Structure 1
Amino acid sequence: MQKPHVPMPRETTEAMVRNIGRELAEIKQRISRCRGDRVAEPKLTGTWIAHLLVSSRELLQNLLIDTAQRPRRISR
């Protein structure tokens, strides 16, 4: 018998912002070390942009969830 799928807990928006900032700082640091390298610099720059796009989408989704209006309870 299979166990039911347990959804992963959603990362808080604050934690997500901290993690994105830390990850992007690491990528920027690596880019600065390979300035002028015709192969490594464009690859890392592409990685940075891709990471930023994916992270932005996830962050926006988190913000939409956080700010969404909750359905009102129907009183009887």
Structure 2
Amino acid sequence: MKQNWKPGTLIYPLPAAMISCGSHPDEYNIITVSWLGTLCTNPPMCYISIRPERHSYEIIKRNMEFVINLTT
């Protein structure tokens, strides 16, 4: 059976974003991720996916905060 998909269905999760993290200048770091998206609109929630081997993973896990910087 043929299925018609919306164009966006085939490209999620996109676009790539820059995730900044760190609580002091010695720890500041930026990582580029492409696994991100919207979980809910009310309340607004989004997600990112980072492998535990990445340097930013431990920083985010320890500080429990990060910033999603969308490129335009």
TM range (shorter): under 0.3
> Which structure dedicates a bigger proportion of its chain to helix?
1
Give TM-score scaled by structure 2 length. 0.24
> Which structure dedicates a bigger proportion of its chain to strand?
2
Give TM-score scaled by structure 1 length. 0.24
